[in-house]
Amino acid sequence: MAGKIKNPYLCRKNPGMPECIHKSFLRNGQLIESTLFDESFLSKPHYIYEVFRVIDGLPLFVEDHLGRLRQTIELSGLPPQHIPADFTEQVYKLIEANQLQEGNIKVVVLSADTEQEAAFLIYIMEHQYPSVAEFENGVELALHYGVRENPNAKVMDVELRSNTNQIKKKQLVYETLLVDQDHCITEGSRSNVFFVRDEEVITPPLADVLPGVTRKHVMKLCTELGIPLREEKVPETSLWKMDAVFITGTSRKVLPAYRIDEWLYPPDYPIVRQVQAAFNREVENYLQSKRQPFQEE
């Protein structure tokens, strides 16, 4: 059960880094030098996007991310033709052109309006992965009252992202957890959240959160491991009852938290470590399945 204390945390930021990094990016399937990248869309209040990770030159769970992108397009009322039929081939084209071994790739879908033409962008963005110490010792989280409109769609809410970034900087925490109008915790600003109580894993219901790809795999792994799991609303007043907490995401994988506001949790809780190890195996198994065809050639 959680204890009470506060500890300082040093945030890492790189505000001078451009949105698109490395040598080239793709716009509507065409390779273009990154110096010509137009990032003016970042000032729009909302835009459709997807982010996935590249490990050893391979796009991790790219099929799942493509499925979520299709869902976002559908939920946004756009025709499916906004996603090119050769999406996966384009991803590998970008990886090869930039000789990318490790990093994050971002996909942005821009629909036509009075200010811009429709565009499908695939580019390499800056990434910040947790350190070895953070995976071992956990990270700090803070609550923030706010929700994303249409939470099942991966649409950038620029105002909400700005607010949560300010909170992370001001309170010196790794991530913020959103709290809705019913005072229930929904998700992180860039992650999904899981709680452990009485040897059971609890996560907010899918209707209230982004269907994270890592979240999906963690839930599957809990079933395979025989760990009881349920989706239910988590009131902020129940934080003191929780035995452990972890967040999940593309860059975060399975990352323990040792604090939410004033409540402390043990990062080494056995179930958390069990899920963390199982997910790391899942990643390696996936990558090996993608390496196999190349090894057999």
What's residue 165's pLDDT?
A: 86
The per-residue pLDDT for 12 is: 41
Q: Which of 100, 125, 150 is the last residue of a domain?
A: 125
pTM for the model: 0.90
Q: What is the pLDDT of residue 2?
A: 61
pLDDT mean over 11-17: 54
Q: Which helix (H) or strand (E) holds 276?
A: helix 270-296
Clarify whether residues 78 and 154 are in a common domain: no
User: What pLDDT does 4 receive?
Assistant: 45
Domain end position, chosen among 102, 125, 148? 125
Structural domain that includes position 55: 21-125
Who's near 69: CB < 8 A, 6+ residues apart? 48, 50, 83, 107, 109, 154
Distance from C-alpha of 59 to C-alpha of 65, rounded to nearest angstrom: 10
Domain match, 95 and 177 both: no
Question: Exposure string (b/e) for 51-67, b if CB count within 10 Å is 16 or more?
Answer: bbbbeebbbbbbebbbe
Dump pLDDT digits (tens) for 221-261. Answer: 999 999 999 999 999 999 999 999 999 999 999 999 999 99
249, part of any domain: yes
Q: 117 and 139 in one domain?
A: no
Could you tell me if 97 and 155 lie in one domain?
no
| Domains in the chain, number | 2
Which pLDDT does position 292 carry in this prediction?
76
- Whether residues 209 and 101 share a domain: the answer is no
**Average model confidence (pLDDT) for the chain?**
91
* Rounded-to-integer distance, Cα 22 and Cα 25, Å: 8
What is the residue whose two structure tokens read 């947790």? 130
User: In a 10 Å sphere around its CB, with 0-12 CB exposed, 13-18 middle and 19+ buried, how is residue 78 labelled?
Assistant: middle
Q: What is the mean pLDDT of residues 146-171?
A: 85
Residue 182 located in a structural domain = yes
Tell me how far apart the alpha carbons of residues 88 and 119 are, in angstroms, rounded to a whole number: 17
Task: Give the CATH number of the domain where residue 74 resides.
Answer: 3.30.470.10
Question: Do 43 and 150 fall into the same domain?
Answer: no
